[in-house]
Structure 1
Amino acid sequence: MQTQPYWIQSTESTHYPTLKEHEGDIDVAIIGGGMVGITTAYLLKEKGFRVVVLEARRILEGATGHTTAKVTLQHDLIYNTLIKNFGQFQAQQYADANQKALDQMKKWIEEKNIQCDFSSQTSYVYTEQETYLTQIEEEVKAAQILGLPAFYTDNTELPFPIKGAVGFKEQGQFHPRKYLLHFGQEIVEQDPCIFENTRVLDIKGDGPYTIVTDQGELKTKKVIIASHFPIYDGGGFYFTRMYTERSYAIAVQIEESLFQGMYINVEKPTRSFRTLPTEQGELLLLGGNGHKTGYGGNTEKHYTNLEEYARQIYTVQSIPFRWSTQDCMTVDQVPYIGPLTSKTKDIYVATGFKKWGMTTSTVAGMILSDLIAEKKNPYSDIFSPSRWNPKAGVKEFLRQNTEVAQEFITGKLSAKAKNPTCSHLGCQLIQNEAEESWDCPCHGSRFELDGEVIEGPAIKKFKE
């Protein structure tokens, strides 16, 4: 069984240079070479900006390389909640932004003839329990109010009966690395501006900025932090407004015929379904079993649980791939895209995509490239990192920060005190057996067993 994601295993590794000393004027330095970083770099270069992308490891091998790659604006049951918490106007912004992103991605794939296994699919959020039917019905109404292609059904191609589902027509699924590697090649055609194995350690100055990396320094007029969890906070206190979750996926070869559509349930544990075309034939991609980072217990059990579930509903022949991922969540369920703080000049951020990063990363690219070009973006208000909506986020804000405080204290007093200490804010790390890593239960940093950083916000090796 391959423990590397299919997306990475099935594409060639990138070998962009590390940063040495960079000569010349830089308009925008982008920290992070995932979907946000590559998409935004492409859009900025199209507008005539001189851009560099700084990636701590290899581009498109982080969250982008570990996704289930559903290209949809159906982000769980989100639209009824948005209308209640933010009002119809801002809910419409969220819907329109993601619809435009989906349309733009389809257009690029067609116009550029990108061979990325894209297929049009209907996306479903379903339930097997009567208790969730009201939520499903309310989501259908909310989505239709916003003009989205939503409908109600109690009949799907899943191998078990459901009580009801909300479907969105004309969504999609694809191979994210095949799609984004194309843009990476376009970006560097005239200017070698992608630098790998170049970890950003600090941002100095108040404009222009000096980007300090482990490979050298460069000066830039503007900065975009697209590092998943922001590695530079700038007084925005993102670590109090966000948390991270891990989830798991297995690619399964089954005897039965596969379905059409993409599916995810309302109840817990999460069950996510899509098909996965490979060179060896079409597989079932089954995901779920999410938990807050550092709180999953023996993480190997999550893969076992998914495999047992697959065997309950299908005749399993083999499981050639498995992988896990990490996602950033905001306390009010809406991503942060825009200026890092209301007082931070020319530093921007994109984070907190709540497991739905394919369209949202494209939204981020569109918003950030407009803001840097000093152009008003019609969707930016709902995503503003400076927003504070007590109705939407205060309960989750208090819960998450209480958990962090408790974890910090108990970690120092319990047997975990012998574990390594996170280099971000000093919490005791938890060993992740399945991924062979040390994970931080406070803010989601992850480390190799030898201490090297896998996931931020930490930027330095852990402390023994």
Structure 2
Amino acid sequence: MPDGNPTISLESNGGFIVTENGKLPQHPESYWRTGIDFSKFPSLEEDIQVDVIIIGAGITGITSAYLLVNEGLKVAIIEAGEVLNGTTGHTTAKITAQHDLIYDEFIHNIGRSNARLYYEANMEALRFIKETVDRHKIDCDFSQQDAYIYATTEKYARKIEKEAEAYEKIGIEGGLVDSIPFDIAIQNALVMKKQAQFHPTKYLVHLLQTIKEKGGLVFENTTAVNVETGEQPVVLTKEDVRITADHVLTCTHFPFYEGAGLYSTRMHADRSYALAVKANKQYPGGIYISADEPTRSLRSVTINGEEMVLIVGENHKTGQGIETMEHYKALEQFGEEVFGLKEIVYRWSAQDLITLDKLPYIGELTSGQPNILIATGFRKWGMTNGTAAALLFRDIIMGYENNFEKLYTPSRFYAHPSLKNFFKENANVVGQLIKGKLDSPKTKPEDLSKGEGAVITLDGHRKGAYKDEEGKLHIVDTTCTHIGCEVEWNNGERTWDCPCHGSRFSFTGEVIEGPAEKPLQKYDYTMLDNLTSEDSGY
């Protein structure tokens, strides 16, 4: 968020935020989470023993459970909140191996054969999803689409030419084109043939039903906090329940248990934004993403029988950059210029992790712990990478051969770019840590309007404040409970976001996303100059 932590005054009108171009929904809500009959699952209240315990109920965890119950194993999934309410429930839902400009970079950094393996792993994931949809006749709006990446500047046009050469070197079906069917002035574009899109939660709800029918267990509101290692590891929950298993699969976005992996130093968190819109112009088919920054990603989506457009982009590191509502406004402006907007129906945001070498970490958590596996760092391409992770997990557990195990192993290290990016990312963390400690915000509690939040100064201390629609103030300590960086206010989602490792907290201080495990300290604010901590020690 910007220096000085200013507040933004947003005019609300009938559940909408009035902007220069129209109206944005006042509250963020993912379309993938609406109109779906999500089963409610109990919390786990007693010790259990299973063959495999899976932590995290997104695409990786649910697909893993589906595969493993089909192998006859006793499987349990635990989810800290509700199923499909994390990154999977806020995705763009493209099923593609075209992951930005990546293959030329991979050829130079990890070699041609590994670049080819990455493509094959993601195409295998696409085929698995299609075959699963066909086998179970899942009504999830699956459709085959060609995928395009386009350049609007000479700089990125040259990069696309290099990427086209990489496609040819590793045998990807596609090639250069000089136009796309939008009112966007491009230099060139690159197409990857026979990719796809779908409705992710419709697909995964069906897999959940199959898991239940085959004896799999699913628990919501059950938070894993630690692992006792050994021949049969034990997952410990926040509720002091013990889950004993032969294998532990950590599919929690950020690993809740790092072992000696130190993953917080090997990844950074990145956010992006989405609008689902009714447009004046008909969508021509295909899925698209810009090579240039800021990112613009496009696909169609059918909502209540009407074809709409999903506009996604505006990437930035979590807790850093401009006021978050400005990202939504930028996407709105782009949509107006390209399509002409009738209405913005939904808006939401997502967060994912990016590793040092841009390959996900999938496999053994740390050396010597072969029965604790992780999957993280999907770089916003989780539909295929998450599915590839589940397929790899099944093969590791069942002892099947898998050509991608070495590619994804978390213990890998490529000196370039990993070493360079390690120092770069951790220098950024140090800079954010120092910046937050030196920050002296000028805003006071009485400056806030209803529905507004900001970093404030109260009795000489840096605090976070949010005034809800009833006028009640919610005060928290802004020191992140992970390593002590200072969180910033996210006015787009009404959350507190950490600029160091991407932890996110609700306006009341509860953890939304890790690596932080403990909530922000809350304060009881009754009157000015009278601040008392709800916890001792203040």
Work out whether 1:148 is the aligned partner of 2:184: no
Partner of residue 418, structure 1: 463
Partner of residue 267, structure 2: 242
Q: Distance in 1 between matches of 2:132 and 2:163?
A: 30
Partner of residue 516, structure 2: 458
1:344 Cα shift? 2.3
Cα 1:280–1:99 change in 2 (3 A) is: closer
Of 434, 440, 443 in structure 1, the residue corresponding to residue 501 of structure 2 is 443
Partner of residue 214, structure 2: 190
1:94-243 to 2 correspondences below 5 Å: 94-215=118-239, 216-243=241-268
Q: Distance in 1 between matches of 2:348 and 2:327?
A: 11
Partner of residue 358, structure 1: 383
Given that residues 107 and 115 in structure 2 are in contact (C-alpha distance below 8 angstroms), is that contact kept between their aligned partners in structure 1? yes
The CA deviation string for residues 24-59 of structure 1, in whole angstroms up to 9 with x for no partner, is: x31111110100000011111112221111100111
Q: Distance in 1 between matches of 2:480 and 2:510?
A: 11
Q: Distance in 2 between matches of 1:356 and 1:43?
A: 21
1:207 Cα shift? 3.0
Cα 1:295–1:338 change in 2 (3 A) is: same
Q: Distance in 1 between matches of 2:372 and 2:481?
A: 24
1:319 Cα shift? 0.3
Cα 1:280–1:46 change in 2 (3 A) is: closer
The CA deviation string for residues 46-100 of structure 1, in whole angstroms up to 9 with x for no partner, is: 1222111110011111100000100000000111111111111111211111111
Given that residues 69 and 216 in structure 2 are in contact (C-alpha distance below 8 angstroms), is that contact kept between their aligned partners in structure 1? no
Partner of residue 384, structure 1: 409
Q: Distance in 2 between matches of 1:88 and 1:303?
A: 38
Work out whether 1:373 is the aligned partner of 2:398: yes
Given that residues 90 and 350 in structure 2 are in contact (C-alpha distance below 8 angstroms), is that contact kept between their aligned partners in structure 1? yes
1:192 Cα shift? 4.9
Partner of residue 26, structure 1: 50
Q: Which amino acid aligns with 2:463?
A: K
Q: Matched residue of 1:221: which SS?
A: strand
Partner of residue 295, structure 2: 270
Q: Which amino acid aligns with 2:390?
A: G
Q: Which amino acid aligns with 1:314?
A: F
Q: Distance in 1 between matches of 2:407 and 2:214?
A: 35
Given that residues 7 and 66 in structure 1 are in contact (C-alpha distance below 8 angstroms), is that contact kept between their aligned partners in structure 2? yes
Of 48, 60, 64 in structure 1, the residue corresponding to residue 88 of structure 2 is 64
Of 70, 76, 79 in structure 2, the residue corresponding to residue 55 of structure 1 is 79
Supply the RMSD in Å over aligned alpha carbons: 1.4
Partner of residue 284, structure 1: 309
Given that residues 234 and 344 in structure 1 are in contact (C-alpha distance below 8 angstroms), is that contact kept between their aligned partners in structure 2? no
Q: Distance in 1 between matches of 2:481 and 2:228?
A: 20
Which range is displaced more, 304-313 or 224-233? 304-313
Please list every run of 5 or more consecutive structure 1 residues that lacks an aligned counterpart in the other structure.
none
Given that residues 511 and 519 in structure 2 are in contact (C-alpha distance below 8 angstroms), is that contact kept between their aligned partners in structure 1? yes
Q: Which amino acid aligns with 2:272?
A: S
Which range is displaced more, 430-439 or 128-137? 128-137
Of 308, 311, 318 in structure 2, the residue corresponding to residue 293 of structure 1 is 318
1:297-316 to 2 correspondences below 5 Å: 297-316=322-341
The CA deviation string for residues 224-270 of structure 1, in whole angstroms up to 9 with x for no partner, is: 11000111110101001000011100011111111211000011110
1:414 Cα shift? 2.0
Q: Matched residue of 2:89: which SS?
A: helix
Q: Which amino acid aligns with 1:102?
A: L
Q: Matched residue of 1:100: which SS?
A: helix
Q: Distance in 1 between matches of 2:369 and 2:336?
A: 52
Work out whether 1:46 is the aligned partner of 2:70: yes
Q: Distance in 2 between matches of 1:437 and 1:380?
A: 37
Q: Distance in 2 between matches of 1:234 and 1:257?
A: 51
Given that residues 38 and 205 in structure 2 are in contact (C-alpha distance below 8 angstroms), is that contact kept between their aligned partners in structure 1? no
Q: Matched residue of 1:26: which SS?
A: strand
Q: Which amino acid aligns with 1:459?
A: E
Please list every run of 5 or more consecutive structure 2 residues that lacks an aligned counterpart in the other structure.
1-24, 441-454, 456-461, 465-477, 523-538
1:140 Cα shift? 1.4
Partner of residue 535, structure 2: none
Partner of residue 418, structure 2: 393
More helix by share: 1
Q: Distance in 1 between matches of 2:30 and 2:180?
A: 28
Q: Matched residue of 2:83: which SS?
A: coil
Given that residues 37 and 226 in structure 1 are in contact (C-alpha distance below 8 angstroms), is that contact kept between their aligned partners in structure 2? yes
Of 469, 481, 485 in structure 2, the residue corresponding to residue 427 of structure 1 is 485
Q: Distance in 2 between matches of 1:230 and 1:364?
A: 14
Q: Distance in 1 between matches of 2:299 and 2:271?
A: 19
1:376 Cα shift? 2.7
| Identical aligned residues as a percent | 41
Q: Matched residue of 1:177: which SS?
A: helix
Work out whether 1:7 is the aligned partner of 2:32: yes
Q: Distance in 1 between matches of 2:504 and 2:403?
A: 36
Normalising by structure 2, report the TM-score. 0.84
Given that residues 207 and 345 in structure 1 are in contact (C-alpha distance below 8 angstroms), is that contact kept between their aligned partners in structure 2? no
Q: Matched residue of 2:479: which SS?
A: coil
1:280 Cα shift? 4.7
State which structure, 1 or 2, has the greater radius of gyration over its C-alpha atoms: 2
The CA deviation string for residues 93-141 of structure 1, in whole angstroms up to 9 with x for no partner, is: 1111111111111111111101000111000010011222221112112
Which range is displaced more, 408-417 or 454-463? 408-417
**Paired residues, number:** 463
Runs of 4 or more consecutive aligned structure 1 residues displaced over 4 Å after TM superposition: none
Of 110, 124, 128 in structure 2, the residue corresponding to residue 86 of structure 1 is 110
